[in-house]
């Protein structure tokens, strides 16, 4: 019988579970809303239920499952499986892997979500066949992942690939991490919303955003609303997003000087909604700073796997460890 893997994306707002066959084929999916106040054990129970729903849809039971891979929105200590700091879930220094293993009664592999997404794009998505791949996922924050020779680069204490905190402007805009000038402070929904507040609320610039969203303080805006405003050529939204995309291109040029990856993949909610519009601007920012290689030799692609990327990558990792 086929040995199945469960791959789970544990996000701050939703949990997505996949049942994945040995061939890599996705047999079933199930989704639920994350109840963030529950703590590690409560969330573990919720993930277990969501996985069970997916198993039911696939017509199989837990006996068919070999391993479970779980992607989390934070760094994971590779040695212990402890979650270091996950603001989206309200966790700090939690022994998450041990807790999840006792709930699932299976071996659990825990990994950072964007590392998983980048790995899946490398194995089965936009970067299939490439050896060295960098992934940028633009959402509330800016996540990053680095895959070298087909393997996730975790680095010391598991903190490699935190590409959102690459500093691209000395003494630049304040980032959520406390430093100034990180690329996340320019190219993330949090950064965009801060610019909207500055331009619309403080400077009185007109924008269709005021009509498109009921959130008049621009605390958080859905990617679909951003896309609608961009397509209507709203000057505020176009300016802020194009600047963000250009800065992401600058960050990519730096990464290129360090790694010269075979492929760079852009995913996440913002790129899902506006990828074709923003990719040319990212490329312009990159080409203005590129060193040692012609622009035609640089491969920039949009994520091909969408929401499946992160849980599929978690499943790939879990299956890898089962084969070790
Ligand atoms: Zn930062």
Each residue's pLDDT tens digit, 11-61: 988 999 999 999 999 999 999 999 888 889 999 999 999 999 999 999 999
Q: From ligand 1's centre to the CA of 15, what distance in Å?
A: 26
Report how far ligand 1's centroid is from the alpha carbon of 173 (Å).
10
Q: Render pLDDT for 145-182 as a digit per residue (tens, 0 to 9).
A: 999 999 999 988 788 999 999 999 999 999 988 999 99
Ligand 1 centroid from CA 177, angstroms: 4
What is the CA(197)–ligand 1 centre distance, in A?
20
Instruction: Give the Å distance between the CA of 135 and the centre of ligand 1.
Output: 17
User: Which residues have a Cβ under 8 Å from the Cβ of 296 and sit 6 or more positions away?
Assistant: none
Distance 105 CA to ligand 1 centre (A): 37
At residue 1, the pLDDT reads 59
- 188 alpha carbon to ligand 1 midpoint, in Å? 11
Q: Which two tokens stand for residue 239?
A: 């300016």
Give the number of residues written for the chain: 324
Q: How many CB atoms are located within 10 Å of the residue 3 CB?
A: 13
Distance from residue 270's CA to the centre of ligand 1 (Å) = 19
Six-digit token string for 189? 């929904």
C-alpha 25 – ligand 1 centre gap (Å): 36
User: Ligand 1 centroid vs 258 CA: distance in angstroms?
Assistant: 19
Query: Could you tell me the pTM of the whole model?
Result: 0.94
Contacting residues for 113 by C-beta, under 8 A, at least 6 apart: 9, 10, 11, 71, 72, 73, 137, 143, 310
Contact indicator for 18, 308 with CB cutoff of 8 Å: yes
Q: How far is the CA of 247 from the centre of ligand 1 (A)?
A: 14
The sign of the CA dihedral 9, 14, 17, 23 is negative
Kindly state the helix (H) or strand (E) to which residue 161 belongs, with its residue range. none
Residues in a beta bridge with 72: 112
Q: What is the pLDDT of residue 74?
A: 86
Strand 26-33: give its sheet, edge to edge.
26-33, 14-20, 4-10, 65-72, 107-112
CA of 124 to the centre of ligand 1 (A): 30
Task: Tell me the CA–centroid distance for residue 102 and ligand 1, in Å.
Answer: 34
> What's the maximum distance between 2 C-alpha atoms anywhere in the chain?
64
Residue 223 CA: distances (Å) to CA of 183, 229, 274, 285, 299: 19, 10, 8, 22, 25
Ligand 1 centroid – CA 183 distance (Å): 7
- 137: which strand partners? 143, 267
Phi, psi (degrees; rounded to nearest 5) at 281: -70, -40
Compute, in angstroms, the gap from residue 4 CA to the centroid of ligand 1.
38
Distance between Cα 164 and ligand 1 center (Å): 6
Structural domains in the chain, CATH included, are 4-120+307-323 (3.30.420.40), 128-304 (3.30.420.40)
Any idea what DSSP says for residue 76?
Answer: B
Q: What tens-digit pLDDT sequence spans the chain (324 residues)?
A: 578 999 999 998 899 999 999 999 999 999 999 988 888 999 999 999 999 999 999 999 999 999 999 999 888 888 888 887 787 788 888 899 999 999 999 999 999 999 999 999 999 999 999 999 999 999 989 999 999 999 999 988 788 999 999 999 999 999 988 999 999 999 999 999 999 999 999 999 999 999 999 888 998 899 999 999 999 999 999 999 999 999 999 999 999 999 999 999 999 999 999 999 999 999 999 999 999 999 999 999 999 999 999 999 999 999 998 776
Give 272 Cα–ligand 1 centroid separation in angstroms.
Answer: 23
How remote is the CA of residue 163 from the centroid of ligand 1, in Å? 9
84 — phi, psi (to 5°)? Answer: -80, -55
């Amino acid at each position: 019988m086929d040995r199945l893997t469960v791959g789970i994306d544990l996000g701050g707002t939703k949990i997505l579970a996949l049942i994945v066959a040995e061939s890599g084929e996705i047999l079933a999916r199930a989704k639920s809303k994350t109840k963030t106040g529950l703590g590690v054990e409560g969330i573990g129970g919720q993930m277990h239920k969501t996985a069970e729903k997916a198993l039911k849809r696939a017509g199989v039971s837990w006996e068919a499952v070999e391993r479970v891979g779980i992607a989390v929105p934070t760094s994971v200590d590779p040695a212990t499986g402890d979650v270091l700091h996950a603001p989206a879930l309200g966790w700090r220094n939690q022994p998450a892997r041990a807790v999840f293993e006792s709930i699932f009664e299976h071996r659990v592999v825990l990994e950072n979500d964007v590392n998983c997404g980048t790995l899946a794009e490398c194995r089965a998505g936009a970067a299939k066949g490439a050896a060295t791949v960098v992934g940028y996922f633009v959402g509330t924050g800016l996540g990053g992942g680095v895959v070298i020779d087909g393997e996730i680069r975790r680095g010391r204490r598991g903190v490699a690939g935190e590409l959102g905190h690459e500093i691209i402007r000395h003494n630049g805009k304040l980032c959520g991490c406390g430093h100034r000038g990180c690329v996340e402070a320019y190219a993330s929904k949090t950064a965009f919303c801060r610019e909207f507040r500055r331009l619309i609320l403080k400077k009185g610039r007109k924008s269709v955003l005021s009509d498109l969203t009921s959130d008049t303080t621009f605390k958080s805006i859905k990617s679909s609303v951003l896309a609608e405003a961009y397509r209507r050529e709203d000057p505020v939204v176009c300016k802020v997003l194009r600047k963000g995309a250009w800065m992401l291109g600058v960050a990519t040029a730096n990464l290129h000087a360090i790694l010269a990856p075979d492929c760079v993949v852009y995913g996440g909610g913002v790129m899902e909604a506006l990828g074709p519009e923003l990719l040319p601007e990212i490329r312009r920012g990159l080409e203005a700073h590129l060193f040692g290689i012609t622009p035609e030799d640089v491969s920039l692609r949009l994520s091909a796997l969408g929401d499946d990327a992160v849980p599929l990558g978690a499943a790939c990792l879990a299956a890898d460890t089962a084969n070790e």
